[in-house]
Amino acid sequence: MKLVKLLSCSTVAAMMFIAPQVHAYKVGLAMPTQNEDRWYNEGVLLQNKLKNAGFDVELFYGGDGDIDLQNKQIIRLTNLGVNVLVVGAIDGAAMSDSLGFAKSKGVAVISYDRLITKTPAVSYYATFDNEMVGHMQGKYLVDKLNLATTSTPKNIELFYGSLTDNNARFFWKGAMDELRPYIQSGQAVIRSGQTTPEEVNTPDWSTTEANKRMGELIEKVGYGPGKTRLDGVLCPADCISSGVLFALKRNGYDSSNMPVVTGQDAVPEALDSIENGEQAMTIFKNPNELCNTIVSMVTNMSKGQPVEINDTSTYDNGAKIVDTYLCMPELIDKSNVAKARR
């Protein structure tokens, strides 16, 4: 009897000794804004996917792109004891202090879609091939405006994203690599004379700012149906195309005479606009693909296993080259718009 008791006690003790310490692995999500379709939806999607995979999740949005708020949220998430932060940065170069604090508490950081720069505190980066996005947009304009063969020079205008977003640089590089030869040869003409990122950027990726600048260009150059022809507008994202199209429609353009306007994100408004013959194209960056990549990264990190990456050279953030997983963007126009409907 005594022996049985003894045995059972030691069995229990052994079990207690070998039982794994179960600590929930906690993930903090910091998304840049709830006021753009893309970011609001992906915050919710990623939260659900991580919860379904068994993680504890805290999700914060940075107001309307408020960098001070986002930095405070990083500190708060760190103090809440998260193991890993997934951050869609508002201003990737302005997070060194908050992320330095997270790093000092042993929190790993995944840069979500936008590269966080000037800090070694970034463990991984998951995004789409941003330069390829720009190539797709630029090439679309080249093809649809027949820039390689046209005998009549085509009038185009350029928009750049936010100067504080590292992605904007990649979109611009890709698009301009396609367009530059035709601008130099005179096949494409930028009548406003505004050609540098400093001149054509859109603060905070704001639709209102894009609308305002397009209105100013129309007035300055005299674009309009029956006036100076405008053939194409390079817009790096749907939030910019939306403002640009609004200004064009206010000035007499409709689906019968709309310039070729590019975009990115395949937001519902842009897909409707494409179907209605207004916006010409967008880029679909399948949110499921990016969010699944994050879930797989977090799962492996939580198990102490190697994380799958496919780019170890492109994304130098100024403090280190960040190990990256690149997903593939897809071009959407009227011919395949259904593909991007969710």
329 contacts 265 by C-beta, under 8 angstroms: no
- Distance set, CA 19 to CA 10, 52, 163 (Å): 14, 24, 52
Q: Which of 237, 248, 337, 340 binds ligand BGC (CB under 6 A)?
A: 237
Residue 320 to residue 119: CA distance in whole angstroms: 8
At its nearest, how many Å lie between ligand BGC and the CB of residue 338? 21
Q: Which of 126, 217, 239, 258 binds ligand BGC (CB under 6 A)?
A: 239
What is the 3 state secondary structure string of 259-273?
CEECCCCCCHHHHHH
Q: Which of 91, 129, 265, 323 binds ligand BGC (CB under 6 A)?
A: 265
Residue 110 to residue 71: CA distance in whole angstroms: 15
Nearer to ligand BGC, 96 or 264 (CB): 264
At its nearest, how many Å lie between ligand BGC and the CB of residue 150? 30
x/- letters, 109..148, toward ligand BGC (CB under 6 A): ----xx----------------------------------
Nearer to ligand BGC, 55 or 159 (CB): 159
Asked if 209 is part of the footprint of ligand BGC (rule: CB under 6 A), the reply reads no
Residue 50 to residue 60: CA distance in whole angstroms: 15
Nearer to ligand BGC, 232 or 329 (CB): 329
At its nearest, how many Å lie between ligand BGC and the CB of residue 205? 4
Q: Which two tokens stand for residue 159?
A: 């928009």
Sheet (strand 232-234) strand order: 188-189, 154-158, 232-234, 260-261
Asked if 167 is part of the footprint of ligand BGC (rule: CB under 6 A), the reply reads yes
Region of 106 (left: φ > 0; alpha: ψ -120 to 50; beta: rest) is left
Asked if 332 is part of the footprint of ligand BGC (rule: CB under 6 A), the reply reads no
Q: Which stretch in 99-107, 159-167, 298-306, 333-341 sits in contact with ligand BGC by CB under 6 A?
A: 159-167
- Distance set, CA 255 to CA 50, 184, 245, 252, 340 (Å): 42, 30, 10, 10, 21
Q: Which two tokens stand for residue 122?
A: 């970034």
Touching ligand BGC, residues 31-70 (CB under 6 A): 36, 38
Q: Which residues contact ligand BGC (rule: CB under 6 A)?
A: 36, 38, 113-114, 161, 165, 167, 205, 237, 239, 264-265
